[in-house]
Structure 1
Amino acid sequence: MQLSFHNLIGKTLIQEPTFDRIIVVYRRASAKSKAERGIFVKHFKNIPMADMEIVLPEKKNPGLTPMDWVKFLGSAIVGLVAVVSSLEMPTADWWVIFAVVSTVIGYCAKTYFTFQANLAQYQNLITQSMYDKQLDSGKGTLLHLCDDVIQQEVKEVILSFFILMEQGKATRQDLDQWCEELIKEEFGGGM
C-alpha cells in the first residue's frame, strides 16, 4: 500500500485469507489416564489464517505485557525510593511511610486485577467466537465427512456413467483421462 494522505484518512478494505471449513483432530496432551486420551474431532467455519491458533485446543493464554511489567517495576521502584527517603529524614513519619507503601501495593494490585479482567474478557471473546464458528464436533463431524465422501463417489459414478454412455467401452486409464477432459472443458478445472 502506498503511503499517502488519502490512504491515511480514507477507509481501506483489507481482505484476509480465510479457511472456509476446518476440521481439527486432536488428542489431549494432559490426560492422566489412557481412557481419557480419546481422539476429539471439531468442525469450524470461516477461520482467518491469522487466527488459526484459536481453534487449537492447547493454546496458551497471554501473559503480562511488557507495559504491565514496566508499571509494576516502576511503581515498586518509586515506592521504594519514597520509603527510603522518608526513613532517612531525621523525624520519620510512620503515617507517610504507611501511605506510600499502601499506595504502591494498591497500584500493583490494580495493575494485576486489570490484567486479570482483560484476560477474562479475552477468553470470553475467544469462547464466543469459537461458539459462533463451530459447526459440529465428535460423531456429527465424522458423519459429515462420511456424507461428503459418499457424495463425491456418487458424482464420480455419474460422471463415469455419462462418459461410458458417450464413448462406449473404455479402460480405467482412458475413462480417467476422458473424465478429466470433460471436467476441464465444462468447468475449467481438474480433479
Structure 2
Amino acid sequence: MHILLFLLGLIAAFGIWSWRIRMAREGAREAFKLAQGAANLPRKMAFRYKASQNGLSLIQDPREAAAILLMEIARARGGTLTERQSETIEREIVHHFQFTPAEAEELAAHAAWVTNTAPSPAETVRRLSNLIVSSPVLGPKEVIDLDAMLVAVSEAEGTPTRDQLALLQMYRDKAGLKT
C-alpha cells in the first residue's frame, strides 16, 4: 500500500512540475512578444504620426517613396490593386529593402493609403522621383534597382498598359535612365 501511495505521489509531483515548467515557458514566450513589440514601437509611432498627417510633402524616406511609386504603377493598370500585384510589390520590398514579410505588408498598406489621398499619379511620380534621385543615401545602383522593381510590378498582370509605361518613362526621365 505504501508503494502505491509513493508512486501516486511521484506522479502528482511530476504533473505539478511539468505544469509549472509549461507555465514558465508560456510566460517567457509572452515576455518575448512584449519585448519584440516594444522594439518596434518607435517605428509604429512614426507610422501612426505620418498616417495622421496627409500629403506627399511628409515623405522623406526613399523606401517609403519607392513603395508609393510601386503602388502608383500597379494602380495605373485599372485603379484597383490585384492580388498578384500586391504579392509582387511585397516580394520586391522584401527582396530589395531586406524587410520582413510583415514589414513589407505594412509598408505596402501605408503606400496604398497614401495613393488613395495623393494627387494625380503623374504628379506623385514626378515628386517622388525627385525625392529618390536627390536622396544622398541612394546611389545609381539603387535607382536602377527601383526601375527594375517598377517594371516587375507593371508586368505582374501581363504586358504593361500605356498608363503604366507613361509613368515608368516619367521615372526614367527624372532618374536619367535611357531605355
**Bigger-Rg structure (1/2):** 1
**Which has the larger share of strand?**
1
Which protein has the bigger helix share?
Answer: 2
Q: TM-score, normalised by structure 2?
A: 0.29
